[in-house]
Amino acid sequence: MSTQAEQETKTTAADDILELARAAGLLVTLDGQIGREKYQSVAGSLPSFMRFVEALRETLAAEVPI
C-alpha cells in the first residue's frame, strides 16, 4: 500500500472515530492545522465518554467475522 493510501485509510478511520465521539455527546474541536496534519481535542462528561466506549465496542464487535 502506498504512503498516500495509508494516510487516507488512517484519516478515514480517525474521522469515523471522531464521528462516534460526536454522536456520543463529546465535543470535538479543531485546535489547528499545519499542512495536512490536524490537531484536535475531544472533551466531555464521563457519561458521554462511556457512551463513546460502548459505541466503539459495538462497532468493533460488528467488524469481527464469525
Chain segment 5-62, per-residue pLDDT in tens = 666 677 788 999 999 999 999 999 999 999 989 999 999 999 999 999 999 999 999 8
List the chain domain ranges: 3-63
The pLDDT score that the predictor gives to residue 12 is 85
Nearest one of 56, 52, 35, 34 to 43, comparing CA atoms: 52
CATH level 3 topology of 3-63 = Ribosomal Protein S8; Chain: A, domain 1 (3.30.1370)
Q: What is the pTM of this model?
A: 0.75
The pLDDT score that the predictor gives to residue 46 is 98
Residue 43's DSSP bridge partners are 27
pLDDT at 1 over 60: no
The pLDDT score that the predictor gives to residue 45 is 98
The torsion angle over the Cα atoms of residues 25, 26, 31 and 35, rounded to 10 degrees, is -80
Q: At what angle do helices 3-23 and 46-63 cross, to 10 degrees?
A: 130
